[in-house]
């Protein structure tokens, strides 16, 4: 039993030793006269066809303000190398081998829109998988940061399309041709993003002609189409703004005597401005289009500002000041001010008040006549002077009573006019409340209709 185990160990050691030696010999023979700087074709007029495939692994970051997209992708290159061909029978049946990619020719496929920074977009020196028939497979992962022209006119319900253009930088189409392995990119291993939904990932081949050269330059462009998830902005931005607008409009229901009617409108207006500034900080500074959320904020700010201006107008109607004038007749008819008409009737003297005033005047005159004694030659001068002074006092009292009655009538009339203006202010508040709610609803529907 022990002898059998020793024989097996010796056999395995010899087999793996032969295999290792054979693979080392194969690698040495393949790279003996190999030049990685030359294209892997024996006919210099023949081009190298690179079959390219892009695997989208993750969308790391989308910065709309800087017009930049950061993704994690896998590159897959396939081509035929005529100098990496061998007979498997000559090398112990080895049909494939892995060679460091920097030791063989590699296609210089680059991203045209990339933004190169330290630590980004570097090509790793991974191994290439080479088959005995000369087919080469070179795979490696990389993080790409590219520029992407974004349209934020529908923000936060926008859909962005970011093209990634891949082509050979040094070779034209007559030397190196690039084709896509499939009409769509591979997204089977895609990691979902919390802010963006991947809508499509298609590949198209294009042939470009530049002013510098007459040769064609083929490229494969992968277009990443992503849609923004609007739940975050609906919950944290749009919903609070709608609540602010509703509270601001409900300020029309607040009595003017409370003293907080105007301050509420101003506070809501400042809140909307702060929310708009927070959103504007995350958007690109563009003058071509106004984002949808900017239109929403603009409309709401205009409505809240108008409500503040009309609140000042309502307060000026409610508090008319010392030089008050009656409400114009057309306003009374327009707003159906009926209760104030009854108040105005109170300003006129009632029959009972008139009779009582006439009775008091008759009593005073009768007292004045009765108090004057008949003319007697024997009346002393002192007594005559006393009655004369009494008549003067009665006249002064009569004048004061007339002034008091006049002031009372004036105050009652002024109070009736003030009540009319206050009732007019209340009814105008209700009309403006309904009007602004209707306008706000129509504005919101008009803005949202552009999304759906």
Contact indicator for 207, 181 with CB cutoff of 8 Å: no
CA within 13 Å, CB half, 447? 22
User: pLDDT, tens digit, for every residue of 406-449?
Assistant: 778 778 777 888 888 888 888 888 898 899 999 989 988 888 88
pLDDT digits (tens, 9 = 90+) for 137-191: 999 999 999 999 988 888 889 999 999 999 999 899 999 999 999 999 999 999 9
* β-pair type (196-208, 217-228): antiparallel
* Contact assessment for residue 206 and residue 221, using Cβ atoms and an 8 Å cutoff: yes
- The whole-chain average pLDDT of the chain stands at 82
Contacts of 238 (CB under 8 A, 6+ apart): 293, 296
- What mean pLDDT do residues 124-139 have? 94
pLDDT at 376 over 50: no
Compute CA distances 145 → 34, 188, 199, whole Å: 34, 21, 20
> Cα–Cα distance between 351 and 354 in angstroms, integer?
5
């Amino acid at each position: 039993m022990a002898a059998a185990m020793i024989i097996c160990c010796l056999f395995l050691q010899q087999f793996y030793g032969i295999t290792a030696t054979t693979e080392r010999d194969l690698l040495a023979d393949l790279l003996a006269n190999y030049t990685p700087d030359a294209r892997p074709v024996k006919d210099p007029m023949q081009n190298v066809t690179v079959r390219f495939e892009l695997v989208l692994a993750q969308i790391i970051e989308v910065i709309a303000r800087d017009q930049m997209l950061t993704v994690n992708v896998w590159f897959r290159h396939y081509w035929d190398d005529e100098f990496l061909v061998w007979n498997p029978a000559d090398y112990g049946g080895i049909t494939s081998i892995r060679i460091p990619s920097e030791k063989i020719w590699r296609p210089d496929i680059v991203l045209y829109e990339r933004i190169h920074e330290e630590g980004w977009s570097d090509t790793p020196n991974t191994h290439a998988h080479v088959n005995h028939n000369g087919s080469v497979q070179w795979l490696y992962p990389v993080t790409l940061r590219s520029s992407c022209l974004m349209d934020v006119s529908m923000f936060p319900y926008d859909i962005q399309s970011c093209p990634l253009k891949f082509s050979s930088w040094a070779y034209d189409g007559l030397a190196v041709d690039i084709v896509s392995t499939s009409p769509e990119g591979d997204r089977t291993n895609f990691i979902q993003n919390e802010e963006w939904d991947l809508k499509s990932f298609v590949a198209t081949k294009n042939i470009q002609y530049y002013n510098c050269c007459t040769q064609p330059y083929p490229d494969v462009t992968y277009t990443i189409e992503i849609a923004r998830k609007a739940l975050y902005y609906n919950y944290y931005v749009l919903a609070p703004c709608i609540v602010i607008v509703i509270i601001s409009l409900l300020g029309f229901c607040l009595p003017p005597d409370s003293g907080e009617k105007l301050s509420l409108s101003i506070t809501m207006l400042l809140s909307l401005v702060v929310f708009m500034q927070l959103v504007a900080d995350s958007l690109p500074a563009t003058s071509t289009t106004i984002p949808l959320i900017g239109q929403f904020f603009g409309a709401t700010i205009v409505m809240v500002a108008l409500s503040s201006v009309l609140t000042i107008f309502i307060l000026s109607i409610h508090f008319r000041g010392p030089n008050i004038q009656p409400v114009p007749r057309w306003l009374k008819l327009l707003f159906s001010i009926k209760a104030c008409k009854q108040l105005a009737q109170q300003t006129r003297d009632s029959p009972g008040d008139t009779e009582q005033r006439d009775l008091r005047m008759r009593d005073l005159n009768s007292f004045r006549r009765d108090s004057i004694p008949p003319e007697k030659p024997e009346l002393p001068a002192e007594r005559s002077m006393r009655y004369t002074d009494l008549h003067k006092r009665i006249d002064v009292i009569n004048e004061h009573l007339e002034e008091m009655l006049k002031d009372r009538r004036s105050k009652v009339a002024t109070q009736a006019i003030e009540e009319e203006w206050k009732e007019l202010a209340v009814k105008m508040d209700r009309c403006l409340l309904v009007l602004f709610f209707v306008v706000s609803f129509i504005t919101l529907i008009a803005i949202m209709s552009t999304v759906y």
